[in-house]
Structure 1
Amino acid sequence: MSDLHHSAAAGSAAPADSAAAPPGPQAVPRRLAALALGAIGVVYGDIGTSPLYTLKEVFGERGVAATPDNVLGALSLIFWALVVVVSVKYVLFIMRADNKGEGGIMALMALAQRSVRGMPRLRLVIALLAIFGAALFYGDGVITPAISVLSAVEGLEVAAPALQPWVVPITLGVILALFWLQKHGTDRIGAVFGPVCAIWFVSIAALGITGIVRHPGVLAALSPSYGFGFFLRNHAEAFFALGAVVLAVTGTEALYADMGHFGKRPIQLAWFNFVLPALVLNYFGQGALLLHEPRALANPFFHLVPRVLLYPMIALATAATVIASQAVISGAFSMTREAMQLGYVPRMRVLHTSHEMSGQIFVPWINRILLVLIVAAVLGFRSSNNLASAYGIAVTGTMVITTLLALVVARYQWRWHLAAVIGTGVGLLTVDLAFFGANIIKVASGGWFPLVLGLSVFVAMTTWRRGRELVVREIQQGGLAVAPFIHNLIEYPPTRVQGTAVFLTPNPQAVPNALLHNLKHNKVLHERNVLLTVEMLDAPVADEGERFEVQALEGGFSRLLFRFGFAENPDIPAAMAWCGSHGGPAFDMMDTTFFLSRETVVAASHRPGMAAWRDKLFAFMARNALPATAFFGIPGNRLIELGAQVEI
């Protein structure tokens, strides 16, 4: 055995904030301001449009009576929910748990699992929790665009009630336009949406100020005593009202998932200096209007708008809800790539939409399936009031799981004292579980929809993960050991041909099936043979010292291992080029042939592993997954694929 050689392979993307040269002192603030503006547009669109429907649902048909005390109590709950859930939990606590700059529940899962390497049972629990949280996030990704756009277009009912039949068709048109825009990427979209969303926040803040000026006593609701009084007066109804109050903090999970797009600092600056003040002013302005004019209860947001500005505000609200949807959709793209690299979803085509930010991507398949499901939600529920009954379960369920995973990281990676972890956990989980419990009652009235979506995604993700494990096990059990195989070739040498043969294999200790088939059918062996294995790490970016390893074997054979982070693009030809320029073996691509064994999965009922229906589901997903050659960037004119059948 020879010594191992390490170096950096550039088949992976550079970290999001890296640059070829240090920026000048004036460029840093400008870049930070530009990213903060983009974050306002992409990250905060969801939570920024919550004022369209939150108070309306608190006091709606299923809500509490809009008495002055209840109005102040609801405002107090909304304000402290924004402070505790968004500011304290997500912006200050959860965003500390970044996995080398990447956020989202899959990145958090990888970070938590890395923190407890020696605890296999805890790692399994973490994986199952994270997969279920990710599945619920997809459910949120369907409900958010539907309710956001519907609530904005419903402003037409206030301006001109005769336009009510046009609400759903206009909503569908806006959603179709939104999904058409996705292919341009969050970089370009953020540049356009950022200024529009900034105008939105300035506008809702100005509207809120006009309401507060009429009734400044509404500011008393900043005291938490009004929130406690709300519970003392309304008892069980107050608990149920939390199911509507939570609408004010929806979008926080997308905030965390989009961290890799813009970075932690711009997101924090945008929240504390711009978004939070605008939201608080608008909510309190709506509350002041309800104190002054209770008949505005039907739609307090649009009743706060002066009549002459109503149509422009509807147009601006529609644009803002498009932005709100973008926050969740881009978060779904990021989470899908992370889940794909970690082995929880099949390989899909991923397009990078920015030359500067490696986290800005577009996943066409996810874009299409979300569009179909969102259109179905709009046609099925037909109003924001009906969708509000379905909203909240997926969001609060994911919030609970995110808190649990972050507590694991705090305990085992940050080395927090157990008392600090318990104290933080009790405080955050009390709020999270209260919101989750208040939304459980919505299951019969529409909450089943995101739950069914989430459970379907959970089954698909766990099936793919388990199926891949079974396939790898079958390949390893049927493979020959490399050392005696090479020794046998040295004793009985086959015909050798010039050039390099690269055999992709998940098990570097076994002879790849493609190599065996090549010898059996072509009866030749290349002068130089490389057994190539790709390993995906539980970090978003591989460190330079672990990018590749090379091990020379006898008889012209060698092992080559490439490592990529889950947020990187696993481009094998680019990695091989860098391997040669950083101390590893050099490859002439014109003289190199890639051999790959494409496994055809067959569901076999007589084999233990998964239920027969899951075997069939996995086989279906395997047939429709992106080929490994396209996923790894292997050129078709340098590739030979040899088929193999695997029973699971």
Structure 2
Amino acid sequence: MSESTAKSSRKPGRVIRPHGSRQEGSAVAKLAAGAIGIVFGDIGTSPLYAFRETFVGAHPLDLDKLHVFGVVSLIFWSMTLVVAIQYVTILMRADNKGQGGSLAVVALLSGALRKSKFGWVAILLGVFATSLFYGDSMITPAISVLSAVEGLTVVEAGLQPLVLPIAVGLLVFLFVIQSRGTAKIGALFAPIMFVYFTVIAILGLTQIVQNPEILLALNPWYAVQFFLIDGFQAFLALGSVVLAVTGSAALFADMGHFGRRPMRIAWFGFVMPALLCNYFGQGAMIIGLDEAGARAAIQNPFFLLAPEMLRLPLVILATMATFIASQAVISGAFSVTHQAIQLGFIPRLTVKHTSASEAGQIYIPVINWTIMIAVLILVLTFQSSSNLASAYGIAVTGAMLIDTCLLAVLVFTMWKWKWWYAVPLLALFFLVDGAYFAANLTKVPQGGWFPLMVGGFAFLLLTTWAKGRKIMRENMAEAAMPIEIFTKSAKNSATRVPGTAIFMASASVGVPSALLHNIKHNKVVHERVVILTVNIQDVPYVEPEKRVEVTDLGDGFYRLILNYGFMQETDVPAALKKVKECGMEFKMMQTSFFLSRQTLLPSEKPQMMIWREKIFAWMLRNAATAMEFFKLPSNRVVELGSQMEI
């Protein structure tokens, strides 16, 4: 999902607003402030490098009014079309019970497209967008923190040798503190981002007042003229201009944390004006300088907007803002991974909840350290934010293009828009997003290969796990004994012993292999046997009253299904305490949990390619146990192994 997706230190879910216009307004204002502090860090730090890279990047432009006006106009209209209209205005309507992001939309569409022969295409697109998000989550911290620390060279050129060590130290510190929890890390996020956006807006307005002619760039003709005169060079410039809208998918992904209305208020009322003031200010500063001055200033225009005495404080403020942007992407990677686990695209991983009250605050160690290693490799390999800009963008534009494809499916299958206004609008979005993606493809040899490689590898793992898991379930279902036959035979062939036995089953039909093996080898059946299936539905949240489904199979046998949404925590013991339909209440010290652990064997007729089968077997071996994932008491768990072919 770029991919990405849910980035927040807030508890996910629908917003419950108090009655009364004044109270409601206050609640919306608080949520809008929270969104400014958490969601907009990625797109908010783009002014550090986006404008600069269009002139000094892989395809440099001349520093004349034609090109400055053309680039500023492109940034303005890109932000308007892509962020303001496509994401904030339209895509934010595509929520799955309040949740946004590629995976949430895929879950929403899967029900509508279940009978369609092309439904799998939409699912694969959503999974690929999620895969690209992992590449984005590695590059964003690297380029953001590095670009901010590079501001030290504007304060004092002799500090250049310290840029890399300081950036590496800050990034290591950022990942080390993740285990402490998002709430503690993000306590000061909103005030810092308020100050940051206010400062960059004032710096930009100061330059606009001195050179107000830059406001002519609001006219889209300057962007058109740029293409008419420069042609292919202008097309290549799109690869850098798009850096101004990186993070736009985050607005959609984080909708569930703050709500559609507060997000829109924060964007249109504060964030977008501040960003545009800064971009127009950078352009105004450049056109106000002579050729030599402009050539020197374009190396770091963001920091040169400030008077010399304020540049060091601006570097510190920008570094704090990039920390927040990086934090948002990292916590977003945790949330996206959790969604993918629940939807069956990733094997179970150890998920640590860092708050006793906020379910959305999670920490996944393997994701944290994997991203940290990749970020450090990127920083030490590329060594400057300009070099990293060559790698940045392709994952973002790829995810944007996929979101447009998903939007097209939504428009015609679920929203039922009339074709005469849906087609022109979608054509405009495909033209803009497709042009950005095509322009970024030219950066593949200079570093764009990295996010594509990461995305491709993640896509391989996600689809391999999903397919292997599907094959396993089908094979287990074929071999499963009907529960009615089993209960009748077990009543007479095994000794009943006191207590409760819960057998975890992935399918809601048949008999789990652990139950069959227990009777086969131990010859005993507990006085109460519960076959438990945890069912993750294609919705973010399942209401508590819909959590439990119980079927009394007779003779002390029960089938219990616990329903969860893909954003919810699966705490089985907590859910069992509330179950009243299985006879007596559940007491953990009198309950045993039996888990099946499968070992894969080579098949004479494999249903997957051998190399993918080996990858799936490796993922299965290294998955977290059901005991950890479902929070089962370790001293009450028995694992029974079995072998099967796929």
TM-score by length of 2: 0.93
Counterpart among 104, 107, 110 of residue 104 in structure 2: 107
Report if aligned partners of 2:513, 2:596 keep a CA contact under 8 Å in 1: no
* 1:95, distance to aligned residue in structure 2 (A): 1.3
2:563 corresponds to: 563
- Structure 1 residues 555, 209: closer, same or farther in 2, change over 3 A? same
Q: Which moved more, 1:249-258 or 1:202-211?
A: 249-258
1:94 corresponds to: 91
* 1:638, distance to aligned residue in structure 2 (A): 2.2
| Pair 1:237 & 2:196 matched | no
1:208 corresponds to: 204
- Structure 1 residues 536, 570: closer, same or farther in 2, change over 3 A? same
Q: Deviations over 1:308-329 (max 9, x none)?
A: 1111111111111111112222
* 1:164, distance to aligned residue in structure 2 (A): 1.0
| Pair 1:589 & 2:595 matched | no
Q: Distance in 1 between matches of 2:601 and 2:498?
A: 40
Q: Which moved more, 1:296-305 or 1:544-553?
A: 544-553
* 1:420, distance to aligned residue in structure 2 (A): 3.6
| Pair 1:540 & 2:536 matched | no
2:61 corresponds to: 64
1:147 corresponds to: 143
- Structure 1 residues 215, 306: closer, same or farther in 2, change over 3 A? same
Counterpart among 43, 46, 49 of residue 50 in structure 1: 46
* 1:646, distance to aligned residue in structure 2 (A): 2.5
* 1:605, distance to aligned residue in structure 2 (A): 5.2
User: What is the letter of the counterpart of residue 408 of structure 1?
Assistant: V
1:484 corresponds to: 485
Q: Deviations over 1:54-106 (max 9, x none)?
A: 11111115222121111111101100111111111111111111111222211
Q: Distance in 2 between matches of 1:599 and 1:346?
A: 13
2:615 corresponds to: 617
* 1:18, distance to aligned residue in structure 2 (A): 6.0
- Structure 1 residues 424, 589: closer, same or farther in 2, change over 3 A? farther
* 1:529, distance to aligned residue in structure 2 (A): 1.4
Report if aligned partners of 1:16, 1:358 keep a CA contact under 8 Å in 2: no
2:182 corresponds to: 186
* 1:337, distance to aligned residue in structure 2 (A): 0.9
Q: Which moved more, 1:40-49 or 1:402-411?
A: 402-411
Report if aligned partners of 1:502, 1:592 keep a CA contact under 8 Å in 2: no
Report if aligned partners of 1:102, 1:540 keep a CA contact under 8 Å in 2: yes
2:70 corresponds to: 73
Alignment of 1:189-338 (within 5 A): 189-293=185-289, 294-295=294-295, 296-338=297-339
* 1:357, distance to aligned residue in structure 2 (A): 4.9
2:374 corresponds to: 373
- Structure 1 residues 73, 22: closer, same or farther in 2, change over 3 A? closer
- Structure 1 residues 386, 359: closer, same or farther in 2, change over 3 A? same
Report if aligned partners of 1:41, 1:194 keep a CA contact under 8 Å in 2: yes
| Pair 1:461 & 2:462 matched | yes
Aligned residue for 2:321, secondary structure, equals: helix
Unaligned ranges ≥5, structure 1? 1-12
- Structure 1 residues 40, 599: closer, same or farther in 2, change over 3 A? same
Q: Distance in 1 between matches of 2:622 and 2:41?
A: 34
Paired positions, count? 631
1:505 corresponds to: 505
Q: Which moved more, 1:277-286 or 1:103-112?
A: 103-112
| Pair 1:405 & 2:406 matched | yes
Q: Distance in 2 between matches of 1:626 and 1:436?
A: 37
Q: Which moved more, 1:357-366 or 1:340-349?
A: 357-366
Q: Distance in 2 between matches of 1:39 and 1:56?
A: 27
Q: Deviations over 1:246-267 (max 9, x none)?
A: 0000011222222233332322
1:599 corresponds to: 597
Q: Deviations over 1:130-169 (max 9, x none)?
A: 1111111110111111111111111122221211111111
Q: Distance in 2 between matches of 1:14 and 1:54?
A: 32
Q: Distance in 2 between matches of 1:327 and 1:596?
A: 39
Structure number with greater CO (CA < 8 Å, separation at least 6) is: 1
Report if aligned partners of 2:153, 2:159 keep a CA contact under 8 Å in 1: yes
- Structure 1 residues 127, 27: closer, same or farther in 2, change over 3 A? same
2:13 corresponds to: 16
User: What is the letter of the counterpart of residue 288 of structure 1?
Assistant: A
Aligned residue for 2:611, secondary structure, equals: helix
Report if aligned partners of 1:200, 1:316 keep a CA contact under 8 Å in 2: yes
* 1:354, distance to aligned residue in structure 2 (A): 4.7
1:5 corresponds to: none
- Structure 1 residues 350, 24: closer, same or farther in 2, change over 3 A? farther
2:517 corresponds to: 517
Aligned residue for 2:578, secondary structure, equals: helix
* 1:607, distance to aligned residue in structure 2 (A): 3.4
Report if aligned partners of 1:603, 1:615 keep a CA contact under 8 Å in 2: no
Q: Distance in 1 between matches of 2:556 and 2:337?
A: 40
Report if aligned partners of 1:261, 1:357 keep a CA contact under 8 Å in 2: no
- Structure 1 residues 200, 22: closer, same or farther in 2, change over 3 A? closer
Report if aligned partners of 1:76, 1:227 keep a CA contact under 8 Å in 2: yes
Aligned residue for 2:185, secondary structure, equals: helix
* 1:210, distance to aligned residue in structure 2 (A): 1.0
Q: Distance in 1 between matches of 2:644 and 2:498?
A: 32
* 1:433, distance to aligned residue in structure 2 (A): 0.2
Unaligned ranges ≥5, structure 2? 1-9
- Structure 1 residues 591, 555: closer, same or farther in 2, change over 3 A? farther
Counterpart among 27, 41, 53 of residue 37 in structure 2: 41
Q: Distance in 1 between matches of 2:20 and 2:498?
A: 51
| Pair 1:125 & 2:141 matched | no
* 1:478, distance to aligned residue in structure 2 (A): 2.5
- Structure 1 residues 188, 23: closer, same or farther in 2, change over 3 A? farther
Report if aligned partners of 2:529, 2:557 keep a CA contact under 8 Å in 1: yes
1:554 corresponds to: 554
Report if aligned partners of 1:603, 1:616 keep a CA contact under 8 Å in 2: no
Q: Deviations over 1:524-575 (max 9, x none)?
A: 1112211111111010012455422211113221211111100011111222
Aligned residue for 1:626, secondary structure, equals: coil
User: What is the letter of the counterpart of residue 518 of structure 1?
Assistant: N
Q: Deviations over 1:286-320 (max 9, x none)?
A: 00011011231211112211111111111111111
CA root-mean-square deviation: 2.1
Q: Which moved more, 1:253-262 or 1:90-99?
A: 253-262
* 1:46, distance to aligned residue in structure 2 (A): 0.8
Q: Which moved more, 1:327-336 or 1:40-49?
A: 327-336
Q: Which moved more, 1:299-308 or 1:417-426?
A: 417-426
TM-score by length of 1: 0.93
* 1:518, distance to aligned residue in structure 2 (A): 1.6
Q: Distance in 2 between matches of 1:509 and 1:283?
A: 60
Report if aligned partners of 2:599, 2:641 keep a CA contact under 8 Å in 1: no
* 1:485, distance to aligned residue in structure 2 (A): 1.9
Q: Deviations over 1:228-283 (max 9, x none)?
A: 11111111000000001000000112222222333323222211111101101000
Q: Taking every aligned residue pair, what percent have the same amino acid on both sides?
A: 48
User: What is the letter of the counterpart of residue 643 of structure 1?
Assistant: G
* 1:602, distance to aligned residue in structure 2 (A): 2.4
Q: Distance in 1 between matches of 2:15 and 2:444?
A: 46
Report if aligned partners of 1:156, 1:164 keep a CA contact under 8 Å in 2: yes
- Structure 1 residues 550, 207: closer, same or farther in 2, change over 3 A? same
Q: Distance in 1 between matches of 2:46 and 2:365?
A: 28
1:116 corresponds to: 113
